[in-house]
Amino acid sequence: MFKKILIANRGEIACRVMKTAQRLGIGTVAVYSEADRDALHVQMADEAVLIGPAPVVQSYLAIDRILAACQKTGAEAVHPGYGFLSEKAEFATALDDAGIVFIGPRPYAISSMGDKITSKKLAMEAGVNTIPGFTGVVKDAEHAVGVSREIGYPVMLKASAGGGGKGMRVAFDDDECRSGFDRASSEAETAFGDGRVFIEKFIEEPRHIEIQVLADSHGNAVYLGERECSLQRRHQKVIEEAPSPFLDQATREAMGAQAIALSKAVDYQSAGTVEFIVDSERQFYFLEMNTRLQVEHPVTELVTGADLVELMIRVAAGEQLPITQQDVSYDGWAIEGRVYAEDPFRNFLPSIGRLVRYSPPVEKNGVRVDTGVYEGGEVSMHYDPMIAKLVTYGPTRDTAIAYMREALNEFCIRGVAHNISFLAALIDHPRFREGRLSTNLIGDEYPDGFNPANVVHDDPALLITVAATIHRRYMDRAAAISGQLPGYERKIHNEWVVVMNRETHPVSVRPLANGHGHEVRYGGERFEVLSDWQFGQPVFHGTINGESVCIQVERRNMIYRLFHWGSQADVMVLTARAAELLSQMAEKEPPDLSRYLLSPMPGLLSKLHVEPGLDVKTGQDLAVIEAMKMENVLRAERDGKIKLALAAVGDTLSVDQPILEFE
């Protein structure tokens, strides 16, 4: 077994690998860029080496600097995590040449499976079902149109060296095909240094289901069941689960057999994932093979009891797999939600900044949190916006969902926008609860993004009761302030009006006789509220009539902002007279910014397609912003004429910064 390994990655996956390595008694080495000097993975490691500035090409993708870090620290092996160099055959080869073990498959498997064109041909030769398409390299946009017409729209344009949703576009007609080819090729060139694109038939209403495989250098290979990864946004997975609520045992075994066949065809040695597209009839087609550890590997670990990182390390050290296919068993259900720094209200655009508050749920009762951040740390524009992976496990799918809902209620993040409310709403969506999933679900159900303020809470009395209780406690504290003028001391009322969504709700709030809680009367019902909540705490834990409750609360002057079950409510608790006066006040209209093109996210203005005096048409490309390794195209929402350019190519933009002004 290795004495010391280097983790050539950052963030949550670097921390995840370190946990297993340290449990096995293996020393760990972190590498970091200047932007990650204070990152959690650096703090966790036994040693840490600076490898360059923030841009990934000068740090986490710089093979020579990773090798130098290995030689400097004496690391015997390298775990690449996922992303960055994890699927670069030249990296594995360079490590081999330097006498350092790559904790992953051999270079041939990486290169053959990493190229989607080659992998599809090898899959066909191995007897694996494949999607109809054009496996040659598409020369240009017009060639793409010709190929797409032959296959038949809709089609998927994919970067041959792509991954993680980058370099992928769906086209339903010639115009979308031309635009999609340009974007896919450009994005792939930027992210992977390889702009080749191929095309295949796009299967409508598909499911994305993948098989986890493990193989060693002694010819042994097993599969550890499947993961349902159909809930995606822009080809990025959002929620994953194991097992799939859709597969039957016969389909599972058939998919597993094909995954093993493909693994053996490339002499695979490590953990890997064979991804399939599955249609409504359970017909499945090979999509790609990821020759690395997957982001969503925890759900497989929880239902099988295997530690995939440990098995990868042991296989790399030359050991045989400790299990056969007959030993693999599945128990319970696991669900993973990816917590991202992104703004659902702005159509899920990335968010950056300091984590003013970061308080994940306690890891108990089937709750697991894999993260690479901490309170006070920063979410950088240079890297992936993932904050954490929240995973819950239970004996049944319904139990795992219930644990996830409660854990999301507890997960407190402030300082950056995040998708926790969206995840909470998504796992409670009827289609998710019923298992009626497809990769189109999020696009169909949330075409304009997601606003938690628009989610109707199914138990408004819960929010009203908690807001009234918290307000009464603030008022009791205010009344206890010393130095009040005798005879004019602050008096506390028991009767209040809760204002929520401009609707008024009369309530009565009194301390319980024993002094350990409050009695709230609302709508003819009595609620007994018990809680040890303290002023300033962002999460309210307690019980209401004996039922446990967990609600996030944020006080904003007179407003209490409450977060629960994916909903967000701004609540005021007023006297009856104040509520009456409030009802007479007009709402302030937001300023008219329709004459400006605003940056919807922080990022780099990489392209500006127009100039002052130019007439533009609806849908015309205006600018491209690079943020978190993705190209985001801004298009004209109406016909008009450019008056001024307020930003230049190369500028680093903030959210809502004006880029163009229209006449």
Confidence category of residue 257, pLDDT binned at 50, 70, 90? very high
Q: Are 124 and 102 in contact (CB under 8 A)?
A: no
- Per-residue pLDDT for 196 more than 70? yes
- Number of C-alpha atoms within 13 angstroms, CB side, residue 12? 21
Average pLDDT on 610-628 reads 90
Reported pTM: 0.85
Residue 220's pLDDT band, with cuts at 50, 70 and 90, is very high
Q: Are 184 and 227 in contact (CB under 8 A)?
A: no
The class (CATH top level) of 596-662 is mainly beta
DSSP 8-class letter at 563: E
2-15: pLDDT as tens digits: 999 999 999 999 99
Specify the pLDDT at position 502.
87
Q: Answer yes or no: is pLDDT of 21 > 90.
A: yes
Q: Is it true that 106-130+207-327 and 332-444 share their CATH fold?
A: yes
**pLDDT for residue 518:** 97
What's the Rg (C-alpha) of the chain?
A: 27
pLDDT at 215 > cutoff 80: yes
Q: For residue 351, is it left (φ>0), alpha (ψ between -120 and 50) or beta?
A: beta
CATH of domain 332-444: 3.30.470.20
At 526-550, the pLDDT tens digits run 999 999 999 999 999 999 999 999 9
Q: Which residues are catalytic?
A: 288
Phi then psi for 561, rounded to 5 degrees?
Answer: -95, 120
Express each pLDDT in 26-54 by its tens digit. Answer: 999 999 999 999 999 999 999 999 999 99
β-strands 166-171, 357-359 pairing: unpaired
Q: What is the separation, in whole angstroms, between the first and last Cα of the chain? A: 69
What residue spans define the domains of the chain? 4-103, 106-130+207-327, 132-201, 332-444, 460-582, 596-662
Instruction: Tell me which CATH homologous superfamily contains domain 132-201.
Output: ATP-grasp fold, A domain (3.30.1490.20)
Residue 56 confidence (pLDDT): 92
Label residue 162 by pLDDT band (50, 70, 90): low
Q: Is the pLDDT of residue 500 over 70?
A: yes
- Residues 289-338: pLDDT tens digits? 999 999 999 999 999 999 999 999 999 999 999 999 999 999 999 999 99
HSE-up of 634 (CA within 13 Å, CB side)?
Answer: 25
Q: Is pLDDT at 124 greater than 80 in this prediction?
A: yes
- Reported as a pLDDT band with limits 50, 70 and 90, residue 163 is low
Q: Which CATH architecture has domain 106-130+207-327?
A: 2-Layer Sandwich (3.30)
pLDDT digit string (tens) for 336-384?
Answer: 999 999 888 777 878 888 999 999 999 988 999 999 999 999 998 888 8
Q: Which amino acid is at 430?
A: P
Among 152-156, 158-162, 457-461, 614-618, the range scoring the smallest mean pLDDT is 158-162
Would you say the C-alpha torsion 637, 643, 649, 652 has a positive or negative sign?
negative
Give ∠ CA 81-83-89 in degrees, rounded to 5. 85
- Range 4-103: architecture per CATH: 3-Layer(aba) Sandwich (3.40)
Mean pLDDT of 144-149: 94
460-582 CATH, one of 3.40.50.150, 3.90.1200.10, 2.160.20.60, 3.30.700.30: 3.30.700.30
